[in-house]
Every structure is written in structure tokens, then in C-alpha cells.
Amino acid sequence: RRKLPDYNTIDDAVRLLRESKNIIVLTGAGISTSLGIPDFRSKDTGLYSKLEHLGLSDPQEVFDIHVFREDPSIFFSIAKDILPTEKKYSPTHGFIKLLQDKGKLLTNYTQNIDNIEANAGVLPENIVQCHGSFASATCVKCEHKVSGDAIFGEIKAGNVPECSACRQIIEADALKPQGLKRKRSSNGCQKDRKEFEDSSDEEDYEIPNPGVMKPDITFFGEDLPDEFGRRLIHHDRELVDLVIVIGTSLKVAPVAEVPGILPRDIPQIYISRTPVSHTGFDIDLLGDCDVVVSELCRRAGWDLKHHMIPVD
Ligand code: OAD
Ligand code: ZN
């Protein structure tokens, strides 16, 4: 992407903020690190630097759908550490809420699964959770859906949560005299239930397992929620007048492609600790994002604190 000539300095960024009416804010894990939630790729502090003990060839495999189908316990061994629990938010989340209050927020596309935007008061209709969330979970076998917190207890205990709907079917079936779970025995006769229970020859019987409940976060190898493409391409692309990307390394497609998909004449600002080389932003504001957005607000004459609602 070629840079636009008119936008270079922090004061250009402030002017853009004041003048724009339909801002896309694209966020990543960097906006939550000041709350003690690790990002993924920061050296030494990122989640991926702490997963060596899992013995994966690439730590990103903890979020790989094929690995999950093979062995869900790998994901659930770390899931308890990334559960959204606390009702708090950072000044950067407060900044997104401020843009909403000023009627300037078109959409916050967040890659985060911590649900913290909601704590700051960003309305659900203004958020696209590009990588899903822990708000719900789905059975990998029968697609039964439950509210996310229904499995938080199991996740916190380090267990692999199982599907209650699958279990009900299996249990109901087990009560039938000629249950589905029983295969023909090797001599071609159906064994009766008593014999089945006593049998040590377990290989003769297919005892179905309930499916695993997978939180509805988007794993590598899975599609993003439909709303992502629908809203971006068919709605926001026409309306957007400023793009602000905050706290993401832009390493994961398709979110990483968003800046390139938007019209070329729309200015783009990048706020993060680490610069990215592959995308040409007009204005790079490198540093701690809470500090950067606070300074932007100060220069714009906006009272960021006033827009930050207390949390319980
Ligand atoms: P990354 O960890 O890849 O990038 C976070 C970026 O934020 C890095 O550039 C950091 O330097 C920067 N950063 C960290 N703390 C900051 C702070 N306080 N102020 C400013 N910048 C800060 O995280 P994401 O880009 O969000 O997906 O990762 C994208 C996706 O990769 C995640 O959604 C996740 C992961 O695999 C899935 O799990 C599907
Ligand atoms: Zn199920």
C-alpha cells in the first residue's frame, strides 16, 4: 500500500480523529497487555513463548482445529489461562468507547477473545469479534450449543468438557435392551445386555463417546464468523473514512489483509510497540498504546477519563 502524502505526524492523526465520522478500529492482543493479559507473539512475554512444555512443533498448534480434533486436551491444558474473567479494561478500550460516544465509531474489528471491549461499554452492534469468543461453545460431534460459562467450571478444572446432549443420547441408548452401541459379536449373534456388561472382550463393542465442547473461538483452519466479511465488504468499505490499527502484529490472515482491502484514499494509523513492515500505514505511532491514545485525546481536547465507565 502506498502512503498518502498529507498524513505524517501525530498532529495529522489528531486532525483526522477530529474530522472523521466513520472510523474502523482494528485491534489485537496488545490492547489488553496492560491488564496483565499476555499477547501471543511478544518475545518472552507472549503466550506462544510459554508453550514449549507442550512439545508442539509450532505453538500456534494449540489453536489449530486439526490438532484439536486429534487431541483436545492440548488446547484445554492452556484454556484456563486465557478465559475472560475480569471486569476491567484499559485506557485503549476506553478510547474505543469514546469514539463510540462521539458517534465516530463505525466498527471495532477485534481479534481478541477476552470480551473486554464490552466491559468498556462498546456496544455489541459496534463490535465484530473476528476470532469468535468464549461466549458460547459447540459440540464437535452433534453441534449442540451452550452458553460459554456452562463449561467454564470444567475448563478451570483443566478438564475436557463433554457434550451433555451427546451424553443423554448415549445414556438413553444404553437403557434400551438392544442398544445401538452394541455391535454384532464375532459369532454373528447379538449378545444380550448382561453378557455385554460382563464381557471383557471390549473390542467387540463400540461404546460411543460424547463429543467435546469447543469454545466458539476461531481456530486456525476454521472460517471466521460470516459477519466479518459481510460487514467489512458490503457495508463498512463504502463508509469508512479513517482506519486505526492498534496492538496487533497483523500476522494472521484474513484480518491482516483488512488494511489492504479498504479503499486506497482512506488514511490509516498504526499504534503499537512494534512496527510492521508489510503494510504501509500513513502514520505510525509506536509505543505503549494506552500512552499513545491518551496523548491523542489530550491533543484533541477530549477527556478520555470522562468516557471511562466504572466497572464492578
Ligand atoms: P500478537 O501477539 O501477534 O501482536 C500483539 C502486538 O501488540 C505486538 O506487535 C506487540 O508488540 C504489541 N503490543 C503488546 N503490548 C502492547 C502495548 N501495551 N501497547 C502497544 N502495543 C503492544 O497478537 P495479535 O496480533 O492480536 O488468534 O494476534 C493475532 C491472532 O494470533 C490472535 O487473535 C490469535 C493468535 O493466534 C487465534 O488464536 C485464532
Ligand atoms: Zn454433542
Distance 190 CA to ligand 2 centre (A): 27
Ligand that comes closest to the CA of residue 140: 2
**Cell 460516544 -> residue:** 101
Specify the ligand 1 atom closest to the Cα of 287: 20
Mean pLDDT throughout 189-208? 51
CA nearest to 86, candidates 34, 27, 160: 34
Distance 224 CA to ligand 2 centre (A): 22
Ligand that comes closest to the CA of residue 163: 2
- Are the C-beta atoms of residues 283 and 60 closer than 8 Å to each other? no
Distance 70 CA to ligand 2 centre (A): 17
- Tens-digit pLDDT profile for residues 41-80: 999 999 999 998 888 999 999 999 999 999 999 999 999 9
Give every CB contact of residue 233 below 8 A, 6+ residues apart in sequence.
Answer: 261
Q: Is 163 annotated as a binding residue?
A: no
Closest Cα to atom 6, ligand 1: which residue? 248
Grid coordinates representing 307 are 468516557
- Are the C-beta atoms of residues 114 and 143 closer than 8 Å to each other? no
Which residue among 48, 110, 272 is best mutated to probe the pocket of ligand 1, counting the most ligand atoms within 8 A of its Cβ?
A: 272
Give me the amino acid identity at 13.
A
- Tens-digit pLDDT profile for residues 245-296: 999 999 999 999 999 999 999 999 999 999 997 678 999 999 999 999 999 9
Neighbours of ion ligand 2 (CB under 5 A): 139, 141-142, 144, 163, 165-166, 211
283-286 vs 268-272, strand pairing mode: parallel
Q: What ipTM score was computed for the predicted complex, to two decimals?
A: 0.98
Torsion of CA 161, 167, 168, 171, to 10 degrees: -150
286 — phi, psi (to 5°)? -90, 130
- Tens-digit pLDDT profile for residues 219-254: 999 999 999 999 999 999 999 999 999 999 999 999
Cβ count near 72 (within 10 Å): 19
CA nearest to 67, candidates 294, 59, 11: 59
Give every CB contact of residue 202 below 8 A, 6+ residues apart in sequence.
Answer: none
Orientation of helix 289-300 relative to helix 91-101, angle to 10°: 40
CA angle (25 as vertex; 34, 293 as ends), nearest 5: 45
Distances (CA, A) of 4 to 227, 243, 305: 29, 13, 32
Q: Is 166 annotated as a binding residue?
A: yes
Pocket of ligand 1 (CB under 6 A): 28-30, 33-34, 39-42, 46, 60, 63, 111, 131, 218, 220, 247-249, 251-252, 272-274, 288-289
Q: For residue 131, indicate whether it is catalytic.
A: yes
Q: Could you give the CA distance from residue 203 to residue 258 in angstroms, rounded to a whole number?
A: 51
Q: Could you give the CA distance from residue 268 to residue 63 in angstroms, rounded to a whole number?
A: 30
Distance 257 CA to ligand 1 centre (A): 15
- What sign does the CA torsion over 196, 198, 200, 201 have? negative
Specify the ligand 1 atom closest to the Cα of 41: 2
H or E element: which one contains 194? helix 193-198
- Tens-digit pLDDT profile for residues 117-147: 999 999 999 999 999 999 999 999 999 999 9
Which residue among 39, 66, 290, 296 is best mutated to probe the pocket of ligand 1, counting the most ligand atoms within 8 A of its Cβ?
A: 39
Distances (CA, A) of 173 to 40, 139, 168: 44, 19, 8
Give every CB contact of residue 248 below 8 A, 6+ residues apart in sequence.
Answer: 26, 27, 28, 29, 30, 111, 255, 272
Q: Specify the pLDDT at position 3.
A: 87
Q: What is the DSSP letter of 35?
A: G
93 — phi, psi (to 5°)? -60, -40
179 — phi, psi (to 5°)? -65, 150
- Whether the per-residue pLDDT at 212 is higher than 90: the answer is yes
Give me the amino acid identity at 50.
K
Q: Specify the pLDDT at position 181.
A: 52
Ligand that comes closest to the CA of residue 130: 1
Give me the amino acid identity at 232.
L
Candidate list 53, 66, 93, 131, residue with the active-site label: 131
Of the two residues 186 and 27, the one the predictor is more confident about is 27
pTM of the model: 0.90
